[in-house]
Chains A and B, each alone.
Chain A
């Protein structure tokens, strides 16, 4: 570890240290450490049930960690608030509002009914700017149910963007879309990310998507071994077992067929998704410069 935790915390938009989360006897997150810098498009994958959504909820502030620290922008997270934007797979949009109203909603809510008086021109221009950025200007008066799934997710992006969050959290945002639309939106997201210099935390179960979209890939997995042994009394949860910087490629999705891309995916599959391939905690592939991992003595214990 090169930097101290304090330095990292200051340099990071999202910072987790020694985070544990247990539901009753079941440990889901087991001593997770993570620092994400501004401007990063950080994707998180892992086998199903590994705790991706749990981690996501901790960052969002819907739940508290059992112990450990979660901060955004240097401050411990509280309940969900404007510094964290969000795009869900479903239910991001309000069905009773048109596209325009959905996008402008955040500005209106933030100012209250009285505070919004006299601001409608300003709000309108701002909302239209983002609606144009997601290329939906001609659909602005439609209701969400009149749009395709891909268009709905673009509205959801505009809706979150208008708040200029410190970090945009995306939970399986393209999970419900057809493959073609999905690829299209991946490219689209990258364009927006570049244009607006966003920091994005992107959770998905699709490995290919994670590697394609991310500038950094994190793998959360319960398949590893450590000094605590394999006894029935050991309640092991998931850790980040793989953390690498990814080369930023030009938008084309053709890279997905390239050999190095496939090789990386194979590597990740083995590191995080194979229940029989148990890497020891000290051997994790944590090459990313911001990666750090404070192991407990228990976990480091030799033997067995």
Chain B
């Protein structure tokens, strides 16, 4: 399909909010919208199959269990994990990363060890490692990116050494939108006997991710950024690692048996899922995965790229607009962060809002990166495949009036 035909398809019809609200929703990195089928799947769970999964011994409880466990299998296939035991449901990316930090990090690291991460990480892939460092005496080392957001192989090679125990990196950064060299990082981590933790929050919704091909040890992502419900997230971990790790949270449903003095933990993956789980959320995520597959990553990637190009080239023509990161649109995976000379990002967001354009402004939970690049607060537009050329044109039209409306050049 050529791009024009592709861009002509109306996907907003699947999304009730986008159908009914007259806004250009361009804050998809923060959270996506949800299609009707996801909302229906979640509500159908409560309306027809609701019982406490994994516990009850009656028909309804088994249906609830099936719904939950089928969702796990859907996730397993979606990221091509070897086994469903490697899929742990959490609340979100942040919780998934904390699970690895608390369980793997605290029990495997000691003073003198190093955790290698990058300066562009979301705070969720930075603060858990600092916690591990503070408690174990390990050191967190930051790989710096160039002004265009790139991380060189040389920088990776220099940072990852025999002292390295964990390499933590986002596959796509949430500010610069650039695809990071995670395969290379994973390879180098394995060479020195370290594990690689990949933050897939901004990649999994937008491109095919295959954990066997990349050989990542852990992968974290959130349902709510991939058209699924809020409150459901995923941690993938290699079975041989998960098996040896201690539980993260303790309580009901994560044990085989408990006596007065001792207990045996449940096998994977339930060892890591203490307490009543978010089964309806998992069922909603299952529907989201089915939906993504019905659209197809080919279409998703092609539409997002085409829209990124239009937005990027339009922005380059507007005086006073500065794009952060790479000056090639191909190197922005649907995310364009920018500033406007003389206009504070919060004013930018407010004026966009008046024009029905939703974008994010501030530090995007990545303050060290913005300090490193020397930009301070910025504005960010982020696309999803359901966005349209009209959304981007509305964004550009508003953007081109911004300086004048703030009183410049009158």
Note whether A and B form a binding pair.
Answer: no
Interface of A toward B, CB cutoff 8 Å: none
Interface of B toward A, CB cutoff 8 Å: none
